Amino acid sequence: MSPYQCAHCKETLSFIEQARSPYCEKPICQRAKVQLYVAENKQRLTAQVIAELEKFIKHTPTRKLPSRLRKELKKTSPLIALLPANTNQLTELGQKRKLEFLRHVSMIYKDVKTHNPSANRVYSEQLEPPLPKNEAQLLGNACATCMGYCCRLGQTHAFVDYPTLKNLLASKPAEFSEKDLLDLYSDYFPKQSYQNSCVFQGNKGCTLPRDVRSITCNNFLCDEVKKYRHEVLQTDSELTFAVAVDKKTIVFTSVYSHENFIRVKEKKA
């Protein structure tokens, strides 16, 4: 009898099978293998970011750290936010992409004016109530560390849909025309945006004010930020060590509470 067993279900593995992987091919065992990989990777990144940021704090003259943050560093252990990273390059925002976006807006504008909500894709129906101020600030700091990985999905539509424009137009006077709407959006085009990402993703983040942004963009929290939010809600501490990762590599790091944000690693890997 073979001395080898699947590390999850304990079923016997042949020598060759075990040399290939300590897990058998059953889906449940393959899932266990992935979970273990994710947990190990998380542990490794957590240890790495703590070491990097502790070093940064140790070598930064105390007077250069905001006093509130200094106090928090003394009395609480930090939360760790593991996040994705936007590694796209900044590039000139070309006329073609701008026009594609404006064509999209024109199309949705006509749908609103003709009360035709299902003619084009609806991304989100309803705006969620805003988060409490401190919580919104902390999650905003996490997103600032990541630099907008999710905005790559905005392409040349920026998630502008029927419910978004219906709300926006309802807040404007009756004489607000299609041209006014296109001019409004055009005023916010950044000079440079991230390659193949949303047309409004500029070097300092989204250039659209919240009341002009789509419902999807105003509601969206990625899974990593949801996990971080869950941890924020579980503890009193808001001191955070944040790390934005591309595959297995740390790309950006930051230290923050809701009041102070210090970007530590900002160069691309």
> Which residues of the chain form contacts with ligand SF4 (CB under 6 A)?
83-84, 142-143, 146, 148-151, 154, 158-159, 198, 200-201, 206, 208, 213, 217, 220-222, 224-225
217 binds, among Zn ion, ligand SF4, none (CB under 5 to 8 A by kind): ligand SF4
User: Which listed option, ligand SF4, Zn ion, none, makes contact with residue 149 (CB within 5 to 8 Å by class)?
Assistant: ligand SF4
Residue 26 or 44: the one with the smaller Cβ distance to Zn ion is 26
Long-range pairs, 236-240, Cβ under 8 A, ≥24: 236/76, 237/72, 237/76, 237/77, 237/78, 237/79, 238/72, 238/79, 238/134, 238/138, 239/69, 239/72, 239/73, 239/76, 239/77, 239/78, 239/79, 240/78, 240/79, 240/80, 240/81, 240/138, 240/141, 240/142
Nearer to ligand SF4, 29 or 85 (CB): 85
| Cβ-proximal residues to 187 (8 Å cutoff; 6+ apart), any chain | none
Q: How far is the CB of 14 from Zn ion (least distance, A)?
A: 13
Residue 6 touches which member of ligand SF4, Zn ion, none, C-beta under 5-8 Å by kind:
Zn ion
CB closer to ligand SF4 out of 104 and 213: 213
Residue 109 beta carbon to ligand SF4: minimum distance, rounded to whole angstroms: 17
